[in-house]
Structure 1
Amino acid sequence: MTRFVLASASPARREVLRSAGIEPVVLVSDVDEDAVAAALPEGTPPHRVVVELARAKAESVAAEFLAAGTAELGADSVVVGCDSMLLVDGELQGKPHTPEIARTRWAVMAGRSADLITGHCVLRVRDGEIVGSALDCSATTVHFGKPEPEELNAYIDSGEPLKVAGAFTLDGRGGWFVDRIDGDPSSVIGIGLPLLRRLLGDVGVGIAQLWAADTPG
């Protein structure tokens, strides 16, 4: 059976997969995202930045468990890395980390639209080596509402926007401030199921195989 390895600590990505019938093995990469992005050539297009970050995470985890010979992953696995960033006025925005940065970003975002870009990398690992790879990104336009000052204060105080790309969530408290989206909602949460299904197909893995891997008995 083919096992699904998620190279991410994101509980939101994990829940998207679980709701879609896949129980992933979670192995978190130690990739320095800022360093990977800084090493890219100046002028690298936004979609390429997020794809390269996703690739770095997937390759790091694949290398780690291949070196360790992690037996429970079995002889056939797919390793999936993802990275999301919000494109606002031509600039990519990742996690704000501090309340001050989150507040500054919301001052720009409120009442406007921006593109949430999510890079995906799928590596097929079989019998101790990488035998296939597929990469791409999805882009979804997010139309933001205008939180009242007390709402925004409470949202930032909750800590949620500090830990997510673009300082908002669709599936959490931030969903109150998203008027609508144009595109794939799962991609906004962090892992786009339609795109991921295509990339899995590119490395020879069907969704039914992954469902079968998690079917009791």
Structure 2
Amino acid sequence: MSPIKACIFDLDGVIVDTSIYHYLSWRRLANELGFDITREDNEQLKGISRMECLRIILSIGGVSTSADQLYELAEKKNLWYLEHVQTMTPNEVLPGVVEFMDYVKQAGIRIAIASASKNAGKILEKVGLMDRYEVLVDGNVVSKAKPNPEIFLRSARELGVAPVNCIVFEDAISGIQAAHNAGMRSVGVGDEKILKNAHLVVPTLGAMSMDELLALQNFA
């Protein structure tokens, strides 16, 4: 048995859902470049870095650019995305998140947020969750995209907790794999068919109980 000493939460799709804002911004960029993307295309972009997302978008449209243009396009998309982020409120925190994080904190379990987004801090501030976690590790301080475990290993290191004592909450296949690559246990938040490799899958954090969390101590 490995006691749970820390919970590491992905941000988008677990705590808030900004996927519509990403989709609208990427679609606006695609349209400007002369093609369109679908919601299904947007699903490919979960849990990966902005530049990786851009490369996928350009591949869908068959568009080639220089390295300088890549950064210009990524920055343009991010500015459009930030326009949406500025409108966010605490009402956009997903159901049950605050209550579950409070239960975790009261149980003496430490909390980190691990997000590939470079805008994670802004989002957490807009939705009023700045006091709910101890450590934030985001795309500003890590460079390797999931399923590389860098973001989770750094979160554990900054918390001072061994990976074996950490539980990761993720909504993306790449994130679940990154957790396992880090030697951590995982909870998939979303569709059980998609996240079947997680140690436990729940539809939302609001459906997660402390009993279920503690039961994960029995997983090797």
Q: TM-score scaled to structure 2, two decimals? A: 0.29
Greater relative CO (CA pairs within 8 A, separation 6+): 2
Of Structure 1 and Structure 2, the greater strand share is in 1
Structure 1-normalised TM-score?
Answer: 0.29
